[in-house]
Amino acid sequence: MDILVLNASPKGKNSTTIHTALYLQKVYSEHNFTFLNVGQRIKSYEKDFTPVREALKKAQAVLFCYPVYTFIAPYQLHRLIELIKEDCVDLSGKFASQISTSKHFYDVTAHRYIEENCFDMGMKVVRGLSADMDDLLTEKGRKEAEMFFEDFIFSCEHSLFVTPPAIPDSNNRCEQKYVPSIKECAKSDKRDVVIVTNCADDDENLSNMIADFRAALPCESRVVNLRKFPFAGGCLGCFGCAVTGKCVYKDNFDEFLRKEIQTADAMVYAFTISDHYTHSSFKCYDDRQFCNGHRTVTHGTPIAYIISGDYRYESNLRMIVEARSEVGGNYLCGVATDEHESAQATSNQIRALADKLVFAMDKKLSRPANFYGVGGMKIFRDLIYIMQGMMKADHKFYKEHGIYDFLQKQKKKILQMKLVGALISIPSVQKKMKGQMSDYIIGPYRSVVENATAKNPKK
């Protein structure tokens, strides 16, 4: 079978995820694998999509390979999906699956995002492999990768695939264009509400919703449009910020985030639904917040959402919206949408959301975390404790806020991480290792691939 592997990791060949696919290529050498490092080359594919288009046309099956970034796939993969859809390349009937690596922090929402977009393009989806970052280094993990691939090939040969969800009747979908009905009024309250959006210049509907929400607020508000920020690129997953606290990009996003957004008394996110999330500019913003590590630096800040589109039909997006607030310790005031039968109903919901946000600020509302929040933070708790030697800022934050509520026994690994952290904290070592961190991390994975043997070697 001709299999196209779309490597969406910004680390390219130094990605831990892609080594699972390289391992499978070595073990199942009777199949033809083609690799495209789309994560590293996304800017070039924006200029010339031809290499991706031609590779997609030739492939019988497509494997999306990526690390999970902030609840979903990396920004680079979001942008690739936009480019594929804009190009209108015909993928209907082709098989698709995915391989992700993470610490299982909301890998389910990442996989559903890919599946939903594959359904949009008429592809036949086979359930993917959600691996731990270290799985390839264990016999059990390699066996699970092999079982995934054998099941994938069997499913392709026997036309077994995930049934797409029912598409709602178009008559039930929201076509109401909201008309603003509230006039601006004087503000006497000096509290600061920031509205983070990626509203396009021609998105009149979302623009009107934002304007009416601001008018309904009795306090000051300001709009930060992510399309206006000069992002140098998406998160590279380089962990440079774990050592220095500064992003390797020189676009000053980390300073912008901490001074312009995180200082607000409340935050509102406003976007139009696209490709089962929103435009990739918002995902770039999501991923670049890794400059804060895994620290819940806005804990206690109330948040709200203004969303244009058929939100009620986007179950995965609804889970992401709720889970973000739960993990971050933010009080979710609600979501205002334009799905209603009348403009007046939309107007009423926007007013109510503005009132709720003010009430949450006044009362400093909070609620106990549900499964999304408890489960998510336990994953981070374990991860940071083990990697405390490297993720020092995260470790300090977790200690100060009482997040460590357990006894962790992986002393050998903790000691190794402390030694690594001590070394890379030395300026001369930092200078010497610049650009080599990925090679250090990826070394054991390369060894696994190099030592793999084919099960059914080509004759």
pLDDT at 458: 65
pLDDT of residue 455: 86
Of the given ranges (46-50, 307-311, 439-443), which has the lowest mean pLDDT? 439-443
| Residue 261 located in a structural domain | yes
Residue 182 sits in the same domain as residue 33: no
**Residues 153, 226 within the same domain:** no
Q: Does residue 171 sit within a domain?
A: no
Eight-class DSSP state of 274: B
Rounded to two decimals, the pTM is 0.82
Q: Let me know if residue 99 belongs to a domain.
A: yes
Tokens (6 digits) for 388: 């405390």
Cα dihedral 398→403→409→411 (10° resolution): 0
Q: Determine the number of helices (DSSP H) and then strands (DSSP E) in the chain.
A: 17, 11
Q: Are residues 260 and 332 in the same domain?
A: yes
333 touches 304 (CB < 8 A): yes
Domain count, the chain: 3
Cα 216 from Cα 350, distance rounded (Å): 8
pLDDT at residue 409 in the model: 66
**CB burial of residue 386 (10 Å; 0-12, 13-18, 19+):** middle
Residue 406: per-residue pLDDT = 77
Tell me: do 354 and 284 sit in the same domain.
yes
SS3 at position 59: coil
For the domain that residue 152 is a member of, what is the CATH number?
A: 3.40.50.360
What's the confidence (pLDDT) of residue 263? 95
Q: Indicate whether 267 belongs to any domain.
A: yes
pLDDT digits 0-9 by tens, 23-70:
999 999 999 999 999 999 999 999 999 999 999 999 999 999 999 999
Q: Are residues 221 and 303 in the same domain?
A: yes
Examine the pLDDT at 86 and tell me if it is beyond 80.
Answer: yes
Tokens found for residue 179: 């008309």
Q: Are residues 192 and 74 in the same domain?
A: no
The answer to the question of residue 440 being in a domain is no
User: Among 70-84, 314-328, 406-420, where is mean pLDDT lowest?
Assistant: 406-420
Residue 232: inside a domain, yes or no?
yes
Do 40 and 161 belong to one domain?
yes
What amino acid is encoded at 437 in this protein?
M
> What is the chain's alpha carbon radius of gyration, rounded to the nearest angstrom?
23
CB 425 within 8 A of CB 388: no
Q: Please check whether residues 352 and 270 belong to one and the same domain.
A: yes
260-308, pLDDT tens digit by residue?
Answer: 999 999 999 999 999 999 999 999 999 999 988 888 999 999 999 999 9
Q: Which helix (H) or strand (E) holds 108?
A: helix 107-120
Q: Which domain holds residue 421?
A: 371-425
Determine the pLDDT at residue 174. Answer: 67
| Same domain membership, residue 271 and residue 385 | no
Q: What are the pLDDT digits (tens) for 393-437? A: 899 999 999 888 876 667 787 888 788 788 777 887 777 776 676
Q: What's the CA angle centered on 195, arms 192 and 196, to 5 degrees?
A: 130
Q: Are residues 44 and 121 in the same domain?
A: yes
The predicted pLDDT at position 415 comes to 84
Last residue of a domain, one of 363, 392, 409: 363
% the chain with pLDDT above 90: 72
Residue 239's pLDDT band (boundaries 50, 70, 90)?
A: confident
Closest among 81, 11, 114, 68 to 280, alpha carbons compared: 81
Q: How far apart are CA 406 and CA 368, in angstroms?
A: 19
What is the Cα–Cα distance from 398 to 293, expressed in whole angstroms?
11
In a domain, 431, yes or no: no
Write the pLDDT tens digit of every residue in 165-220.
777 666 666 666 777 655 555 676 789 999 999 999 999 999 999 999 999 999 99
